[in-house]
Amino acid sequence: MATKQTKRKRRESFGAIRQRSSGRYQASYVGLDGERYNAPHTFDTPTDARGWLAIQHAKLLSGDWSPSDAAQVGTAKKARADTLGEYAEHWLRTRVNRHGEGLRPRTRVEYERLLRGSLAPLTGERLAMVTPEMVRAWYAAELETGRKTQTARAYGLLKSIMATAIEDRRITSNPCMIRGAQNASTGKKVAPPTAAELQKILDAITPRYKAAVLIAAWAGCRYGELTELRRKDVRIIKNGRDVEAIIIDVARAVTHTTGIGYTVGKTKSEAGVRSIALPPHIHGEILAHLKDNVGSFPDSLLFPAADGSSHLAESTFVKHWYPARDAAKRSDMPFHALRHYGATRFAQTGATLKEIQERLGHSTVAAAMRYQHTAGRDAELVRRMSELAAN
Residue 336 annotated as catalytic: yes
Cα radius of gyration (the chain): 30
Backbone angles phi, psi at 361, to 5 degrees: 80, 35
Amino acid identity, residue 264?
V
Residue 241 annotated as catalytic: no
Is beta strand 242-250 parallel, antiparallel or unpaired with respect to 25-30?
Answer: unpaired
Residue 383 annotated as catalytic: no
Catalytic residue (choose from 170, 359, 362, 373): 362
Catalytic residue (choose from 170, 339, 345, 373): 339
Catalytic residue (choose from 170, 222, 311, 345): 222
Residue 339 annotated as catalytic: yes
Catalytic residue (choose from 8, 336, 370, 377): 336
Catalytic residue (choose from 139, 223, 371, 373): 371
Which stretches within 45-194 are classed as H helix?
46-62, 67-81, 84-94, 105-116, 120-123, 132-143, 148-167
Task: Indicate the helix (H) or strand (E) that contains 239.
Answer: strand 234-239
Task: Indicate the helix (H) or strand (E) that contains 235.
Answer: strand 234-239
Residue 371 annotated as catalytic: yes
What is the greatest pairwise CA distance in the chain?
111
* Cα–Cα separations (whole angstroms), residue 48 to 15, 39, 41, 51, 192: 13, 11, 11, 5, 73
* Residues designated as active site: 222, 336, 339, 362, 371
